[in-house]
Structure 1
Amino acid sequence: MADQLITLSDVAAAAGVSLSTASKALNGTDRISAATREHVRVTADRLGFRHNALARSFARGRSQTIGVLTHRASNPFTRVVLATAATELGAKEQAILLYDARIDEQDVTESILQLRARRIDGVIVIGTGTSFPTPSLTSRFDVPVIYAFTFTEDPDDVTITSDDTAIGRLAATHLLSTGRRRIAHITAEPHDNAAQRRAVGAGQVLADAGLDWVTPVRFGRWRESWGEEAAREVLAAAPDVDAIFCGSDAIARGTERVVRASGRQVPGDVALIGVDNWEQLMHDQRVSRHLTTIEVGLEEIGRQVAARLLEPDPEPGIQYVAPQLVIAETV
């Protein structure tokens, strides 16, 4: 029957070996020949046998379960990292146990206690971005902990995250490559780590080219309304501005409205580039792209986090993923 549960005994009988030999073959022991192991594996695949994950975990002394702590699982950026990591872990027969908690608040303690009680093999802490640090939770677990799309104040924490300095450098490099020279920058608060690093990275590229911002960097908020407000200031201070690097796609959307309302053409008179690849995050792939933007590497972060967590001794420190330029209509 199609729904019949195939047991290890069924596999052993079909393969003509003992139950013990079948178990050793499917659990990777080196105490049997390669030919026998392959014969049992092929038989198991033909019958549609699947390991009893619970029994297997007891035998190995591991739960094959990874705990995941998120600051806000519904956040669009978090969802991409989480889904990619979960897919990668699932392909390696690892389950995930998700706890959505305010990581910087008291209720994270209860999530930690529950995870520890579940005999998890490791922990992934997924942030909502690189604007501000996530508290280090490593010392509160006795299993490996890895941080994704965030950073902590402990330089030894194993962390994989986006490279904001490289994002800024990539944006400015592309604008210069298209012949733009009078470039402005609109971004979030100056004490925001992501905003500051993106501004620094872009500023370094301009300085290397013997240039400077056409008007001082406008620091404000990650909002469309700030993009509108700051764009008016930029156009008033530098009417001949020919490009604006926006620290996020939200800022870029507000900026574009004001630039077009002023009678200027985008990208003919003013080129615009944002960060986040928001159109891809919020729509399906069939939707045509409009805003030229920088993809911060969310899927790659998820893939690398899953791979690093399963390594015997993950190397401490921050590992950055490379951003990707997404060219569309505004440059």
Structure 2
Amino acid sequence: MVTQRAVRLSDVAAVAGVSKATASKALNGSPLVSAATMARVREVADRLDFRPNALAQSFASGRSRTVGLLTHRATATFSRAVVMGAILELGRRERAALVFDGRINAHHEMSESIRTLQDRRIDGLLVVGAGYGRVTPSITHQFEVPVTYAFAASDNPDDSVFVPDNEEAGYLAARHLIERGRTRVAYVSADRDDLAVRRRETGMRRALEESGLEPVATLYGSWRQEWGEQAVGQLLAAGTAFDAVFCGNDHMGFGVLDALAVRGLRVPDDVAVVGVDNWEEVIVDQELRRLTTIDLELLRVGAVAADNVIEPSLEGGERFVEPKLIQGPSS
């Protein structure tokens, strides 16, 4: 099989009847080339399907068109979605990704990765954390290129940080329950020291207050399914009257569903349940979905953070990516 040779700049120049240098200037929009010549060269380049050599372009421009990704546990369930969103967006914008994974809070691992990235002529750096349970130490000052953080809580308030809007997630969940006539909402979540837990509760309370309501109970435990089961037992043992449960994540939501079923309570007739994370999107056929949930749009978190590395905003601080409600049979 004969492999067709890629079209070169010299081919474009020959067909257009100009020098190689003039063809290069025309394709790069140089003001030293007349409009007519520029149009002719570009028409030939399009007709020949010319693709500029990325390596040559990087040498000419002094830019590598490569973005570094420094990640904390890139294969973890939620970090993985952020990393994938970033890589897909970088590919769409014709940038390469150079990924270093490790423990962001481990000094030795961080130092090694930072030194390597500093040596690789990256055009920018995206630091992907593991959520709000962990504060990421700022490393912006160690780079001369733009640095952006995603799915992390940086310890420098001036850093550009892109995160899911957890407060809006809580608001959407409670608003959805209220619209379905629920007035006795319990909040079951993880450790209250976790910023995501607090922000989701803030959003829930804001929606309830708008309707003259307040949660009938707030219970804090772990992110595990077993905690959802235990929380239902605590609510019933305390004699709490509730017709809805907003769960801090889907795992708790599954536990709540199981515990309600064991006790003969119908979902959603007796109790409606809403979780967070849209976990079922990746583990079951959607026809088997059990839970209404809030999708934190983690792919989009990675994508918009990657965009900010390429075209940095002049202002730092936190930027929030809006979540969306995914309707399921539990509400």
**TM-score, normalised with respect to structure 2:** 0.93
Amino acid at match of 1:295: D
CA RMSD of aligned residues (A): 1.8
Q: Judge which range, 22-31 or 256-265, deviates more.
A: 22-31
1:121 positional shift:
0.8
Residue 11 of structure 2 corresponds to residue 16 of structure 1: no
The answer to whether the 8 A contact 1:72-1:101 is kept is yes
Change (3 A) 1:37 1:262: farther
> What is the identity, as a one-letter code, of the residue corresponding to 1:121?
D
Greater mean alpha carbon deviation, residues 77-86 or residues 111-120 = 77-86
Contact 1:249 1:277 in 2 (8 A): yes
Q: Structure 1 residues 47 and 188, CA, compared in 2 at 3 Å: closer, same or farther?
A: same
* d(CA) in 1 for partners of 2:40, 2:297: 42
When structure 1 is superposed on structure 2, of 288-297 and 257-266 the one drifting more is: 288-297
Find the counterpart in structure 2 of residue 154 from structure 1: 156
> 5+ residue gaps in structure 2?
none
Q: Specify whether residues 287 and 49 from structure 1 end up closer, same or farther in structure 2 by C-alpha distance, changes over 3 A only.
A: farther
For each residue in 1:124-146, what CA deviation from the matched residue of structure 2 results, as whole angstroms up to 9, or x when unmatched? 01112223321111112111100
Show the counterpart of 2:236. Answer: 235
Residue 300 of structure 1 corresponds to which residue in structure 2? 300
**What is the identity, as a one-letter code, of the residue corresponding to 1:62?**
R
Structure 1 residues not aligned, in runs of 5+ = none
In the alignment, residue 29 of structure 2 is paired with which amino acid? G
**Alpha-carbon distance between aligned partners in 1 of 2:177 and 2:291, rounded to the nearest angstrom:** 14
CA distance in 1, matches of 2:187, 2:322: 21
| Cα pair 2:64 2:121 within 8 Å, conserved | yes
Q: 2:196 aligns with which of 175, 194, 197?
A: 194
Q: In structure 2, what is the equivalent of residue 253 of structure 1?
A: 254
Tell me whether 177-186 or 163-172 shows the greater mean CA deviation.
163-172
8 Å CA contact 1:126–1:150 kept in 2: the answer is yes
Local SS of the residue matching 2:181: coil
Match of 2:69 in 1: 68
Q: Which residue is 1:269 aligned to?
A: 270
Q: CA deviation at 1:313?
A: 4.8
Letter in 1 for 2:296: V
Asked whether the 8 Å contact 1:76–1:281 carries over to 2, the reply is: no
Q: 1:73 offset after TM fit, Å? A: 1.0
Q: 1:176 corresponds to which residue? A: 178
Amino acid corresponding to residue 41 of structure 1 in structure 2: R
* 1:320 aligned partner, one-letter code: F
Alpha-carbon distance between aligned partners in 2 of 1:11 and 1:283, rounded to the nearest angstrom: 52
Q: Which moved more, 1:1-10 or 1:108-117?
A: 1-10
Aligned positions, number: 329
- Aligned twin of 2:133: 131
Identify if the C-alpha distance between structure 1 residues 283 and 261 changes in structure 2 by more than 3 Å, giving closer, same or farther: closer
Question: Distance between the aligned counterparts of 1:294 and 1:281, measured in 2?
Answer: 14
Question: TM-score scaled by structure 1?
Answer: 0.93
Distance 1:28 1:302, change over 3 A: farther
Contact 1:293 1:326 in 2 (8 A): yes
Pairing 1:216-235 to 2, within 5 Å after superposition: 217-235=218-236
Name the residue aligned to 1:163.
165
- Of the three residues 196, 209, 212, the one matched with 1:210 is 212
Q: Say which SS state the counterpart of residue 70 (structure 1) adopts.
A: strand
Mapped to 2, the partners of 1:139 and 1:128 lie a distance apart of 21
Distance change >3 Å, CA 160–CA 292, structure 1 → 2? same
Match of 2:324 in 1: 324
Q: Are the equivalent residues in 2 in contact too, given 1:131–1:195 (CA < 8 A)?
A: no
Q: Are 1:111 and 2:87 an aligned pair?
A: no
Q: Where in structure 2 are the equivalents of 1:37-76 lying within 5 Å?
A: 37-76=38-77
Do the aligned residues in 2 keep the contact of 1:163 with 1:320 (CA within 8 Å)?
A: yes
1:276 corresponds to which letter in structure 2? D
